[in-house]
Chains A and B, each alone.
Chain A
């Protein structure tokens, strides 16, 4: 296995040969190299089960979670090259500076719920939350940010483009059944939705199978366009989103178990 070694932008791929066991993933091999050959090899990880989004890297050029990439995917004897993600500045070895993402997160207007139902409860139906729950699956691995050509090799676009991860986030907020905050002007002006030309590269790499382009970006684009050209739709949207809460349904709460 060839692993990128180096501090800052200087570095090279270094080859290591270690035995592997059944079922191993790329991250296991990196750990074995760390334990036996290179104790200072820098790598991020936490859950080792595809849940935390820490272990992103490019394995033979493909953006992947190292903990979910099985060694059995590669032919015996095939050289495997592991490199850090390219869109973000290098810190050391496989670790990059992903602070871009945390800075972008700060610029997103937060969730602002509408009033509760008259009985003090909140009601949302599974059909209404399904599509937003898809967006909430995001583990912030930033692989979509890594492949997006708008920022991958274009440092100059970073200030005005938030990237697919944050389009997912914005879509989640915009489509949240309870939210009343209005972000559409901002999405166009500040987050750079217009830069996206729907290449779908982000969707292809998402380990959570979020349909980033079809379900988040395209609907957001539609909303922005409608809002921009149709002042009546815009006004209606405001009224609808901030309007009075619906009265509570009169059916008594069921006590059916969830598995029924």
Chain B
């Protein structure tokens, strides 16, 4: 076996975002020898970028709010494709997890009575998001980070985990490389918690950072675990679109939560035209009611500006297609005419700053130009709802990398709470599992084979530039696996992905192994292309439109598909896709959701329902 340093732990947590940190704190607290590994420096994970808030039915602003309403909103927002048990646990436990952050030093914005203030967000019936201005993720990650450091938990920073090691079908550890030195490192561990986040960097217009290359999903799949719902990708309706260098950067939903509204090029508040049947009873059909709703939720229905993200993203897409878009192919988001300047600056300081510095736009005076951006993936590693266990022994997954919780569409704010609830559960279950698990054996042949794959790009002949392949991949996914999909395009995407894969095998890396981003990207390409293929194949299989997955050739939700997950497995190196039934919602919970099913969904072109102005 090659000379590689080995670190031995009970539980290795891969990822230092909210999910990973929370999992590590729990596993350590339960007595397991725990390490956290992350690709960036500690405190820089995606979670730091989260803006709007954490959803939890604390009932501080609206006493009517409770876990049942949160559960209902989550299930409806997810178009009933959610794993009901995850949605239930999430809604029940989120308040405790938020309050726990306060015990660890977090300082949320306050109500007049000194409690945690909550703000409105899309798809949530009541103002529910605990927040700190528009930098909630920073508060959350720093609180968890400081708490973790105070517990003395080992952290491996700028260390990329590349493959999981297995021992007779169960997890035995992982192989990683240090970004700084390029040296390889072996983790021997009975349990691994994957908390690596999503795969947004496969798309051109995205709010995601370089870290989102689908590593956790790819490693789990390779080790024999199941993925589900990979066709369910979330396009956030409001990303920046101008200038080109900031295209995709997120504009928080908090802008709409705090009173902002969408307008097309001629100033029309177009969302009133796009209220789907499924949400009609609870959505205002005129501007006056929508505006009153901010102040009085009991007597008014919610503004359609705050419909779930999939609806709003599709509506924007339709407006632009119909020629009612802005100069740069988006629509306007206006808060300037609707709220006073000092309110905007106080509630949305980083948005103010971001537009001022990067786009020369003063959002207290001018409208923002925005359009959809790939933001999140609802699909991922299939887990047990109570323990976050993946489908192979010793493997756990929490956070964006895991699937089930959000169904076909995630509500804003439900991710940060998801990280805490299921991060904790994963850490707890992993620590419990290692107590009863026998020692794992590291298979030298496996290690050697993986080590070889890691250093191959330096040695093989080839002429391809990894950056060029990555750019082409992003074009392919943007053009062919975007908001609106159809059979021919998905098939074309698969053909292009095959060509990209063969080009990626001819990448040659120059320079040394020390902090070499070209090498890192060459390795990442394998995961990016692999997961892009799973998304495209799953999208081809699901012949209906639901949530984050819209098929132009199958524009309606199909009740039959509404009971199925698309499952992806890898057997003997080949992908196998099937469908499996979603666990049925027990009757007492079913009642909370309401009986109507999402059906009326129109994918493209003209609005689904004409209401309001027209």
Contact = CB atoms under 8 A, between A and B. Distances in A.
Contact of A95 (B245, B339, B353, B515): B515
Nearest to A140: B43
B245 A253 contact: no
Contacts of A68: 357-358
B501 interface: no
Interface string B543-572: 000000000000000000000000000000
Interface of A is mostly: loop
A43 B517 contact: yes
Contacts of A22: 243-245
Contacts of B120: 257-259
B132 interface: yes
A72 B585 CA distance: 56
B245 A35 contact: no
A129 B112 contact: no
Interface stretch (A74-82, A119-127, A146-154, A231-239): A119-127
Given A35-B471, A255-B61, A46 B245 contact: no
B514 interface: yes
A219 B109 CA distance: 23
A23 B512 contact: no
Given A70-B357, A124-B114, A24 B517 contact: no
Interface stretch (B392-400, B406-414, B462-470): B462-470
A34 interface: yes
A244 B579 CA distance: 59
Greatest chain B CB density within 10 A among A42, A257, A260 is at A257
A123 B117 CA distance: 11
B111 A40 contact: no
B118 A133 contact: no
Contacts of B138: 51, 136-137, 139
A54 interface: yes
B494 interface: no
B459 to A, nearest CB: 16
B42 interface: yes
Interface size class of A (residues with CB under 8 A): 35 or more
Contacts of A49: 49, 246, 249-250, 350, 354, 358
A61 interface: no
A51 B107 contact: no
Interface in A73-107: 91-93, 95, 97-98, 102, 105-106
A35 B465 contact: yes
A46 B40 contact: yes
Contact of A257 (B46, B295, B465): B295
Interface string B119-140: 1100000010000110100110
Contacts of B245: 21-25, 28
B44 interface: yes
B107 A123 contact: no
B41 A111 contact: no
A174 to B, nearest CB: 12
Given A253-B111, A256-B112, A102 B42 contact: yes
A45 B516 CA distance: 14
Contacts of A18: none
B510 interface: yes
A63 interface: no
Contacts of A28: 245
A254 B112 contact: yes
Contacts of B103: 113
Contact of B467 (A39, A110, A173): A39
Contacts, number: 203
B465 A46 contact: no
Interface of B is mostly: loop
A55 to B, nearest CB: 10
Interface string B512-555: 10111111000000000000000000000000000000000000
Contacts of A110: 105, 146-147, 150
A123 B354 contact: no
Contacts of B439: none
B266 interface: no
B578 interface: no
B49 A136 contact: no
B512 A52 contact: no
A204 interface: no
Contacts of B146: 105, 110-111
B63 interface: yes
Contacts of B63: 253, 255
A258 B118 contact: yes
B110 A125 contact: yes
Contacts of A1: none
4 closest A-B pairs (Cβ-Cβ)?
A23-B243, A40-B511, A39-B518, A123-B114
Interface of B: 40-46, 48-49, 60-63, 99, 102-105, 107, 109-115, 117-120, 127, 132-133, 135, 138-139, 142, 146-147, 149-150, 155, 157, 180, 209-211, 242-246, 249-250, 258-259, 294-295, 297, 339, 350, 353-354, 357-359, 465-468, 471, 509-512, 514-519
23 contacts: A39-B510, A39-B511, A40-B519, A42-B514, A43-B517, A48-B246, A49-B250, A51-B135, A52-B44, A68-B358, A70-B357, A95-B515, A98-B41, A102-B157, A122-B115, A123-B113, A125-B114, A126-B110, A139-B48, A173-B105, A253-B111, A254-B111, A259-B339
Given A39-B517, A46-B45, A54-B40, 15 more contacts: A22-B243, A23-B244, A34-B518, A41-B517, A43-B517, A46-B44, A46-B46, A50-B353, A91-B514, A124-B114, A140-B43, A249-B114, A257-B297, A259-B294, A259-B295
